[in-house]
Amino acid sequence: MGASLNGKNILIITSNTGIERDELLKPLEALRGFGARVTHGASEGGTVQTFVGDTEKDRTVESNAKLAALSASDFDALVIPGGTVNADTLRLDTAALGLIKDFVEAGKTVAAICHGPWALINAGVVEGKTLTSYKSVRLDLENAGAAGWVDAEVKQCDANGWTLITSRTPDDLPAFNEAIAKALAG
């Protein structure tokens, strides 16, 4: 793509347990490859357990900060990985929900993949947006007031004063990462 994200600061948020490995590490590596400074914030800070799928433990990863210590004002974009356990945990995390709301209120880019939109639902920010997600999240999004759901590898919606980028599964990660980079470089 050739997008340069030099000078851009991106926050990726996760819980400490149950994060889908590729949905954390591939965006982190890709966005750093575009030149962005990427911070990984976790609910409790410290060590994060990654999984392949939702049941096979993989490696642990050190986060950079505890979510409660982070501020949307320090970042240009927010990325929310999926994984069923991660997304289910984040949607009940008050610090995560507060960060999501702050990014939206500031008119910044928010990107979520797979089950990640669950956190967007609980933050109350999907109304009027058209997005994609893992197929089982579709009805939840529709019930939360999303304007629509599409079956596409990536969907960008610029409405209500902020940009939302969503994808369905780890197979969509190349398109997801590219869309984030393009939105921030533009």
pLDDT tens across 55-105, in order? 889 999 999 999 999 999 999 999 999 989 999 999 999 999 999 999 999
- The answer to whether residue 1 sits within a structural domain is no
115 among known catalytic residues: yes
Give the per-residue pLDDT at 18: 85
- The answer to whether residue 46 sits within a structural domain is yes
Total domains in the chain come to 1
- The answer to whether residue 26 sits within a structural domain is yes
C-alpha distance from residue 133 to each of 2, 163, 179 (Å) = 27, 16, 15
Residues in the chain, how many? 186
114 among known catalytic residues: yes
- The answer to whether residue 42 sits within a structural domain is yes
Give percent of the chain with pLDDT exceeding 70. Answer: 98
Q: Are 40 and 64 in contact (CB under 8 A)?
A: yes
- Please give the torsion angle defined by the CA atoms of residues 129, 152, 27 and 15, in that order, rounded to the nearest 10 degrees: 60
User: Any idea what the CATH number is for the domain that residue 43 is in?
Assistant: 3.40.50.880
Out of 108, 115, 138, 168, the active site residue is 115
Backbone angles phi, psi at 161, to 5 degrees: 85, 5
Out of 10, 30, 79, 114, the active site residue is 114
Tell me which residue range forms the domain holding 125: 9-185
